[in-house]
């Protein structure tokens, strides 16, 4: 108990610096707390390790590798593979370790260690799938957070990452009929509008769509279930950023998109990773997560062709970015 008390002042100091936006100072405080000794109790302090990982995940791209190197050296791990083994062994059975493994997985993505990221994120997942995430729970979640939703930097960063994946794969001629499926408050609309001849938004939440309407960028906005509302539409591009994880079975959405796309039309979406099959997060927001093979097999059965898949960081977690095409001439 005395050793734990010795660690906590450093942790509290570093956490306070983060709240003040002093991330570099917070990182230095964490490194100091680790003490540079292989038997330091701070090395296996869950809160301290989670905090330093969170700082590195939020750091500018140019600094991530250097910070990670200093962390590895400061903890005397030797290299990232050894760090993964030591820390996974220490925390895998800790019920409070969801944030630790989520941040470690996100850092691994930023370091180009995709297999490690999926492996680490698997410790955030469980196999016991709820039948569905109820519509009222989704509506309530977004209604309660509506006032500050657009101010959360993780939401802006997620849209930026999604569009960085999407934009190079499109012709910027402004001549596409686009459906923004599960569009929320319309954070993606400023990026999509220049690509669009028409831009339609669909979402379950009327209050979120009211915010989207204020942007004055959509040609139409519809409240409703996205699978049902896609019926009868015709589009060149359907995007679904940050919402596929609410579908236990993604196939109905995939089939609905296939039917509404013109030949050559594109479907781009984000989805959280699992080692294989479908799993569910055990902490944070409830999310269904899928293995790459699971998604590829499902979309192939629907008749879609894969255009690309990246592993990025969205909402502070590792996330797959997918694009599929309906076979035929390009739109």
- Tell me, yes or no, whether 34 and 173 share the same domain: no
Domain assignment of residue 228, yes or no? yes
- Tell me, yes or no, whether 167 and 86 share the same domain: no
pLDDT, residue 2, reads 40
- Tell me, yes or no, whether 65 and 154 share the same domain: no
Q: Which of the listed residues 126, 144, 173 is the one where a domain comes to its end?
A: 126
pLDDT, residue 142, reads 62
Alpha carbon of 99 to those of 14, 96, 318: distances in Å?
17, 8, 12
Domain assignment of residue 210, yes or no? yes
Range of the domain at 205: 135-325
What is d(CA 159, CA 167) in angstroms, rounded to the nearest whole number? 12
pLDDT, residue 3, reads 42
Helix axes 23-34, 2-19, angle to 10 degrees: 170
- Tell me, yes or no, whether 118 and 151 share the same domain: no
Both structure tokens of 214 = 């204020």
Largest CA distance in the chain: 69
- Tell me, yes or no, whether 68 and 175 share the same domain: no
- Tell me, yes or no, whether 120 and 168 share the same domain: no
Going residue by residue through the chain (331 aa), what tens digit of pLDDT does each one get?
344 444 444 667 776 777 677 778 888 888 888 877 777 888 999 998 998 999 999 888 888 999 999 999 999 999 999 999 999 999 999 999 999 999 999 999 999 999 999 999 999 999 988 776 666 666 666 666 666 655 556 677 889 999 999 999 997 777 999 999 999 999 999 999 999 999 999 998 888 899 999 999 999 999 999 999 999 999 999 999 999 999 999 999 999 999 999 999 999 999 999 999 999 999 988 899 999 999 999 999 999 999 999 999 999 999 999 999 999 976 4
- Tell me, yes or no, whether 232 and 315 share the same domain: yes
Q: Which of the listed residues 126, 146, 166 is the one where a domain comes to its end?
A: 126
Domain assignment of residue 330, yes or no? no
Neighbour tally for 247: CB within 10 Å:
22
Helix (H, G, I), strand (E, B) or coil at 7: helix
Q: Which of the listed residues 89, 108, 126 is the one where a domain comes to its end?
A: 126
Total count of domains within the chain:
2
pLDDT, residue 157, reads 84
Domain assignment of residue 197, yes or no? yes
Domain assignment of residue 331, yes or no? no
- Tell me, yes or no, whether 103 and 156 share the same domain: no
Burial of residue 57, with CB atoms counted within 10 A of its CB: 0-12 exposed, 13-18 middle, 19 or more buried: buried
Q: What is the CATH number of the domain that holds 23?
A: 1.25.40
pLDDT, residue 105, reads 98
> What phi and psi, each to the nearest 5 degrees, are found at residue 267?
-125, 115
Task: Return the closest-CA partner of residue 203 out of 249, 262, 149.
Answer: 149
Domain assignment of residue 97, yes or no? yes
pTM of the model: 0.89
Domain assignment of residue 318, yes or no? yes
pLDDT, residue 10, reads 62
């Amino acid at each position: 108990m005395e050793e734990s008390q010795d660690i906590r002042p450093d942790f509290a100091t570093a956490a306070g610096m983060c709240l003040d936006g002093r991330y570099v100072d917070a990182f230095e405080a964490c490194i100091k707390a680790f003490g540079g000794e292989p038997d330091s109790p701070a090395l296996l302090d869950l809160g301290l390790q989670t905090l330093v990982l969170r700082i590195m995940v939020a750091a500018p791209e140019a600094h991530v590798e250097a910070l990670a190197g200093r962390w590895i050296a400061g903890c005397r791990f030797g290299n990232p593979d050894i760090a993964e083994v030591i820390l996974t062994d220490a925390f895998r059975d800790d019920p409070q370790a969801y944030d630790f493994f989520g941040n470690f997985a996100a850092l691994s993505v930023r370091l180009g260690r995709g297999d490690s990221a999926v492996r680490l994120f698997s410790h955030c997942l469980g196999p016991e799938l709820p039948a569905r995430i109820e519509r009222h729970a989704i509506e309530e979640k977004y209604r309660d957070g509506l006032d500050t939703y657009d101010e959360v930097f993780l939401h802006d960063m997620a849209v930026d990452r999604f569009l960085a994946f999407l934009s190079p794969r499109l012709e910027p001629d402004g001549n596409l009929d686009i459906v923004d499926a599960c569009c929320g408050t319309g954070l993606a609309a400023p990026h999509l509008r220049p690509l669009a001849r028409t831009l339609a938004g669909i979402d379950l939440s009327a209050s979120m769509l009211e915010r989207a309407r204020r942007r004055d960028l959509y040609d139409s906005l519809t409240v409703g279930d996205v699978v049902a509302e896609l019926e009868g539409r015709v589009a060149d591009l359907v995007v679904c950023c940050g919402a596929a994880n609410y579908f236990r079975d993604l196939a109905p959405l995939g089939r609905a998109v296939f039917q509404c796309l013109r030949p050559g039309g594109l479907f781009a979406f984000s989805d959280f990773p699992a080692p294989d099959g479908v799993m569910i997060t055990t902490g944070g927001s409830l999310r269904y997560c899928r293995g790459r093979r699971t998604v590829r097999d499902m979309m192939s059965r629907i008749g879609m062709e894969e255009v690309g898949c990246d592993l990025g960081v969205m909402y502070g977690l590792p996330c797959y970015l997918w694009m599929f095409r309906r076979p035929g001439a390009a739109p």
